[in-house]
Structure 1
Amino acid sequence: MKALICTQPGTFEYRDIPSPVLKPGHAIIKIKRIGICGTDLHAFKGTQPYFSYPRILGHELAGDLIEADGADGFVPGEAVTIIPYFNCGTCIACRNGKPNCCTNINVCGVHSDGGMLEYLSVPSYALVKSNGLSYDELALVEPLAIGAHGVSRANIQPNEFVLVIGAGPIGLGTMEFARIAGAIVIAIDINDNRLQFCKNSLQVQHTINATTEDAMERIKEITGNEMPTVVIDATGNQKAINTALQYLAHGGRFVLIGLQKETINFSHPEFHKRETTLMSSRNATRKDFEHVMNTMKRRLVNPATYITHRAKFDEVKDLFETWLDPATEVIKAMVELE
């Protein structure tokens, strides 16, 4: 079968590799859709933590189940997606209901080879039924679940001001689920096209361009000088993370969905006087997947909104680098396999 391998930062190669053979407790999926996410882009650039090369990227997946062992209730031929965070089931995090941060976690497409190929073997426990969703919708469940998990971590209450920093795909999903939770959402980014997308497509009430506006003054104006009680970083940008605390209300929650390699730092007095609650938000859980799929079924989220670019599998090697260029205005690139 054909696979697309990131052999080193900045380099892809198509190679023929053996098709997977069914193993106990595993399933084989024929891949139909691959969503391109920030993790893939960062891996291509060489800036993704927890990463080694060569690697087959891709974990936003949809496909048809070919065969499975230990997958009760699933039948060959049905459409599925996967929860791509393979966990051990026995560590302290798994025992406490947090498999998304398993101490031995194996993220498909990061720690092990992912879905940029024709057939993928995954643990059967990772399968998720389609519940009538299309391949496109199924491939978007995982990235939206990342935002949904961050919103769940923040325990957002109706009518809270929630500031989301970063209007990339993860930030956009975070805004959607903050809105669904009843928040008054404020979006900050440096890209006017992304901010316009927030307004027009996601019904975000307030947007701020941090390079052309005084973000602090605008946030004070929007919140009546009280500041947002929740700030969520979805950039993974060190400067953005280090300066975001200034925007947080006293008694507020600061949630880091974005990830980068370096040390984060901020003023301890500023952190302390707010009695800040600082949280990271890693991956997502099956509960988050179910929540996202339910919102799709109820049409509270329109997955088609996010897909701005499409490519056939054979085209990805040539097109991938263009998706790194802000000028192409990519929100979500979707790869199709027939």
Structure 2
Amino acid sequence: SVKLPSALSLLDGALVEPLAVGLHGVSLARLKPNARVLVLGGGTVGLTATFWARRLGAGRLVTASRSRRRESLALAMGADAFVTLGEGEGERIAEALGGPPDYVFEAIGVVGALQQSVNLVKPNGEVISMGFCMAPDAVIPGIATFKQVKLTFSMAWTLEEFQTAVDLLDRGDVEPRAMVSNTISLDALPSMIETLRGAHNETKVHVEPWA
């Protein structure tokens, strides 16, 4: 088990698991120094992947999403630039990175994201899937083969990574706290769940049962 230090709040404790998820995925890549890194997705997993990629060796680092809602968060977590996805995304990403990405961390989790990652990564590059899509998601093997892409799937975290996330917060790193977009009471939870079902601007919602 991992004990939460007394100096950390319950809000800090709620950030440990997503930080460990991001650390696990980025650690699997074993980033080469000064690598060009693309994180696809501006949600919690994408933001924690951005956070750790910056700290584990990324050179130029870009976070990309269809919406600009979390642009400021991505930059705060360590991205050098934020790019919107859509028509012409490959050119925008390569321009922001100074070339195609060596690594793509896929943190979108929707059908089509794996092939999108394969299309964007450089030849002999690596795609790390962190999006946890539960639907069949076709990848065109011929394209991945021509580019000789390595595809890795990341699942959860290790106990050591969980402890690393706790230690990071205990040292006073404050950037992850920016992911908490709202703190609500238990009574407000049902209405918040309905809000989260549609278009929204939340990232991490913290429930404070005693509020």
Q: TM-score, normalised by structure 1?
A: 0.58
**Correspondence for 1:287 among 151, 160, 185:** 160
User: Equivalents in 1 of 2:176, 2:62: separation in Å?
Assistant: 21
Contact 2:61 2:97 in 1 (8 A): no
Match of 1:162 in 2: 37
Q: Tell me if structure 1 keeps the 8 A contact 2:62–2:82.
A: yes
User: CA contact under 8 A between 1:295 and 1:301: conserved in structure 2?
Assistant: no
Q: Which residue of 2 aligns with 1:153?
A: 28
Q: Alpha carbons of 1:160 and 1:299: their partners in 2 closer, same or farther (altered >3 Å)?
A: farther
Counterparts of 1:178-189 in structure 2 under 5 Å?
178-183=53-58, 184-189=60-65
For 1:140, give the aligned amino acid: L
Partners of 1:296 and 1:270 in 2: how far apart?
A: 41
Q: Which has the higher strand share?
A: 1
Map 1:65-104; keep pairs closer than 5 Å: none
* Structure 2 residue matching 1:279: 3-state secondary structure: strand
1:221 equivalenced with 2:95 (yes/no): yes
- Name 1:101's counterpart in structure 2: none
Is 2:4 aligned against 1:130? yes
- Cα distance in 1 for partners of 2:101, 2:129 equals 15
- How far has the Cα of 1:320 moved from its partner? 1.4
Letter in 2 for 1:142: E
Gaps of 5+ in 1: 1-126
1:191 alignment counterpart: 67
Cα distance in structure 1, aligned partners of 2:53 and 2:137: 25
SS at 1:283 equivalent: coil
How big is each residue's C-alpha offset from its partner over 1:75-129, in whole Å with a ceiling of 9 and x where there is no partner? xxxxxxxxxxxxxxxxxxxxxxxxxxxxxxxxxxxxxxxxxxxxxxxxxxxx320
2: CA distance between counterparts of 1:290 and 1:193?
30
CA distance, structure 1, for counterparts of residue 26 and residue 205 of structure 2: 24
- SS across alignment from 2:168: helix
Alignment of 1:242-321 (within 5 A): 242-321=115-194
Q: Is the 8 A contact 2:77 2:176 kept in 1?
A: no
**Paired letter, 2:73:** F
The equivalent residue for 2:48 is 173
1:177-217 per-residue CA deviation (whole Å, 9 max, x = no partner) reads 11111212111101112123212x22311211113x62111
Q: CA deviation at 1:265?
A: 2.1
Give the whole-Å Cα distance in 1 for the aligned partners of 2:73 and 2:172.
18
Q: Deviations over 1:131-163 (max 9, x none)?
A: 232211111100111111100111113311111
1:330 aligns with 2:202: yes
Q: Which amino acid aligns with 1:189?
A: S
**Superposition pairs of residues 9-20 of structure 1, within 5 angstroms:** none
Gaps of 5+ in 2: none
Q: Distance in 2 between matches of 1:300 and 1:249?
A: 33
> CA–CA distance in 1 between the matches of 2:140 and 2:188?
47
Q: Which structure's relative contact order is higher, taking Cα pairs within 8 Å and 6+ residues apart?
A: 2
Task: Work out the CA distance in 2 between the residues paired with 1:269 and 1:290.
Answer: 41
Per the alignment, in what secondary structure is the counterpart of residue 70 of structure 2?
Answer: helix
Partner residue in 1 for 2:109? 236
* Alpha-carbon separation, structure 2, partners of 1:304 and 1:320: 21
1:142 maps onto 2:10 in alignment: no
Conserved? CA contact 2:73–2:178, under 8 Å: no
1:250 counterpart SS class:
coil
Distance 1:216 1:134 in 2: 41
Percent identity between matched residues is 27
SS at match of 1:238: coil
TM-score (norm 2): 0.91
SS in 2 for 1:222: helix
**Higher alpha-carbon Rg:** 1
- Equivalent residue of 2:122, what SS? coil
